[in-house]
Amino acid sequence: MKSSLLTALCIFILSHTSWSQTIIFVNIAATGANNGTSWQNAYKDLQVAIDAAKKNNILWVAKGTYKPGKGSGSITQSFVAKSDIAIFGGFKGTETQFAQRDFKTNLAILSGDHADNDDPIDNTLRRSDNAQHVIYADTSVLNFILDGLVISGGNTAGAGGANDERRGGGFLCYGEVKIKNCIFRNNYGYFGGAFYPRAQKLNYTLENCTFTNNTADAGGGGALYVVSPDGIGTITNCTFELNKSSGSGGALNVQISKPNFRNCKFLFNTASGTGARGGAVFSSIPGSNYSNCEFAGNMATTSGGAININGEGYPSIVDSCMFTDNESGFGGAVAMFNGSKNTAQALKVTFNFCQFENNTASLSGGATLSGFKANTIFNDCSFKVNMAGLSSGGFGGAIFSQNDSTSVSIFRSQFELNSALKNGGALSAINGAKINIEKCNFEGNDAVNGGAISFIEDTIDLVGSLRILNSKIEFNQAKDYGGGLYLYNTKTDVNNCIIGNNSCEEGKGFGGGLSIVQAKSPSVAVKFINTTIATNKAKSGFGISTFTNAANLLKIELLNTILYQPDGTNYQVESGPQVILSLGGNLSSDKSLTISGTNDIINTDPLFVNAGLEDYHLKSGSPCINKGIKTAEVLSLDIENRIRDNSPDKGCHEFGAPVPNRDLEINNSLVIMASNQCNTLQFTIESDWKGVAQYTVFDVTGKIIITGHFNKWSTKENIIHEGLVFMPGVYFLNVVHDTTIVGKSFFRD
């Protein structure tokens, strides 16, 4: 501890070389001359010490409770900040070196509670005696530093107050400040319970601070309320917990400002009033970035259980953040809207390497909601056990996209065990939204319609677009329509995908793999290319079920696609004509659909390696091998990045094709552990990249022994795969992430 504190002081001094070494001592328990020259003669009143400080002086403050107003007890008096001074708390009152201080033990408390009668939990009780602002800095204040202090008991005026009377109970700041190692607790403000930085161009820094049990009224921002259009806010290693607001922003309400957050925790903050948004953070404009932050147990009444982002223009990036157990009406973890009617400019938010788990939306978007004019991108994210819909609502267990002005793009992400009370166990989109999905896995999601994905036109005749590439949709469940996907008036392209082992059996039971509905104009096309639709189950239409009211409204195009439902029909017309159009190269294991294109085959087994164990690779001798049709739409690599030549196979897997040798690393980043158990593979991969990766084991003939995927969230990841059968011999392990492949050989005796 002492070493780290000494290091911190050295850094402080080196970064402020113009600071003098004059130390002013402050100790409320001192009995000496009260002139600040030593601990014995320390100033007893902090404001007197501040007034006496010269430029670049440093104040050492001993443990104890200090109150503003120089003993007047006035609620309008605050500790008044001064330029170019630094105030350090955490001293016992005997130290001779800075490194001896312990701000966690020796609490130097700046308190606005003149009567010492505050309720320890409820920040609205017995507050008539409290200072409106514990600390105040006007626009002239620059380079003011607080370090190692507790700020408590501030209490602004309520709704009936005016201007600054209602702003920033703990610290109302118009100047430029740096705050480190401080605790803001039990403060109240109509706007901004603890800290309110407000200036046209205000730079402020918060580092290693804790904001706990602060309260804001309808103005919002239980801990912080920020207005700084041209300023830079940096918030690092801070914790915001148990803050609350009856307005938006349980912890922070950010107005016309773009602070950046790094390594912060937002825990159990609440925005509870009618219409309140952003349980942890409400931003009126985008542009803030979040890195390595944790959001857990936050709640907002209306939208954005953790974060609510409004506005347009400036892009926001959310990187390597974790969202767990957050709750709201719309967007259990994050809600995004561009509410402006005067611009076509989108709100742009990108999520990289984020985890969303056990978040709940009582209406729509269990994890996230993309509202009007929101453009959202997810890279290498994980969505698990999120839920939409309690007693009503229920659209998009993980993600909900609202209308034709929204778009959602999802890359290399996992959706597992999410659920929706109505539509889209993992994802629900309506009213002409644009959805792009690549290299994703949807597994074990559940809804009434669209176990994994639901996309419906709703009521305003807008045709949406859905594109799914190189993805797996497996073991999802719906009750009424579409165990895997429910598509209503949606232009859809599915390429290089698996739709397998989905079910729709409990309710109406239409479409184990997909239920496709086209009830009115305009007409749409749904296209499948090199896709394997297999072993799905339903009451009717085990593979695909269709509903149309008239001819020419719906067209389902098939190219190089396999349909194999051994327990039922591949295709079932529930209403209207058959709408299948073959582009060639397809195989159906039964006669339920009429196809007669080039190289089409019906009533034939595709000869998978083991469909019962979800292994849809082709056996030697399969009628699918080299019987596909080569077109510009056929991708050059299969779902496992194997090369397709000019004679592609049917389905998503190419038989016996090599993996392209691109960015192949064979080095010490991949370690395969020896094991005496022939049924276990264990390996460790160490690298800088993070996200979803796929691993595959081949034998010397190129035959795939196993394949699987995992989420890599740290630099070093250990993977164990059990239940295998290895014959003695040489094997090859490849780990693929995006365009990078790491490979290594190993031997089993």
CATH of the domain at 689: 2.60.40.3080
Q: Does 441 reside within a domain?
A: yes
Q: Which of 564, 590, 616 is the last residue of a domain?
A: 590
What is the tens place of the pLDDT at every residue in 238-252?
A: 999 999 999 999 999
**Residue 189 phi/psi, 5° resolution?**
-150, 140
Q: Does 497 reside within a domain?
A: yes
Query: What would you report as the CA-atom Rg of the chain, rounded to the nearest whole angstrom?
Result: 31
Under 8 Å between Cβ of 404 and 462: yes
Same domain, 576 and 718: no
Q: Does 222 reside within a domain?
A: no
Q: Does 396 reside within a domain?
A: yes
pLDDT of residue 537: 98
Task: Tell me which residue of 600, 595, 533 sits closest to 569, measured CA to CA.
Answer: 533
Same domain, 368 and 487: yes
Strand partners, 610: 615
Same domain, 685 and 584: no
Residue 518 pLDDT level (bands cut at 50, 70, 90): confident
pLDDT of residue 12: 43
Mean pLDDT of 686-712: 75
Q: Does 211 reside within a domain?
A: no
Residues spanned by the domain of 383: 362-590
Q: In this model, does residue 666 exceed pLDDT 60?
A: no
- The length of the chain in residues reads 749
Ranking 29-43, 314-328, 331-345, 623-637 by mean pLDDT, the lowest is: 331-345
Q: Does 499 reside within a domain?
A: yes
Same domain, 690 and 570: no
Cα gap 113→126, rounded to integer Å: 9
Cα gap 383→413, rounded to integer Å: 8
Same domain, 569 and 456: yes
Residue 700 pLDDT level (bands cut at 50, 70, 90): low
Same domain, 575 and 671: no
Mean pLDDT of 91-109: 97
Q: In this predicted model, which residue has the larger pLDDT, 490 or 307?
A: 307
What is the tens place of the pLDDT at every residue in 530-551?
A: 999 999 999 999 999 999 887 6
Q: In this predicted model, which residue has the larger pLDDT, 119 or 649?
A: 649
pLDDT of residue 231: 82
Q: Does 717 reside within a domain?
A: yes
Residue 329 pLDDT level (bands cut at 50, 70, 90): very high
What is the tens place of the pLDDT at every residue in 265-297?
A: 999 999 998 999 999 999 988 788 999 999 999
Cα gap 123→109, rounded to integer Å: 17
The pTM for the full model equals 0.87
* Domain containing residue 457: CATH number: 2.160.20
Cα gap 61→48, rounded to integer Å: 12
**Residue 445 phi/psi, 5° resolution?**
-90, 160
Q: In this model, does residue 664 exceed pLDDT 80?
A: no
pLDDT of residue 202: 79
Pairing mode, if any, of strands 571-575 and 601-602?
unpaired
Q: Does 614 reside within a domain?
A: no
Same domain, 574 and 690: no
Same domain, 366 and 504: yes
Mean pLDDT of 331-347: 78
Place of tokens 């292994």: 615
Same domain, 368 and 471: yes
Same domain, 563 and 668: no
Q: Which of 590, 619, 636 is the last residue of a domain?
A: 590
Same domain, 584 and 681: no
Cα gap 225→243, rounded to integer Å: 12
Q: Provide the token pair at 217.
A: 């009224």
CA-to-CA separations, 677 to 613, 672, 680, 749, in angstroms, rounded: 22, 13, 6, 10
Same domain, 535 and 391: yes
Q: Provide the token pair at 273.
A: 């009033």
CA-to-CA separations, 427 to 270, 583, 710, in angstroms, rounded: 26, 29, 21
Q: Which of 590, 617, 646 is the last residue of a domain?
A: 590
For the chain, the domain total comes to: 2
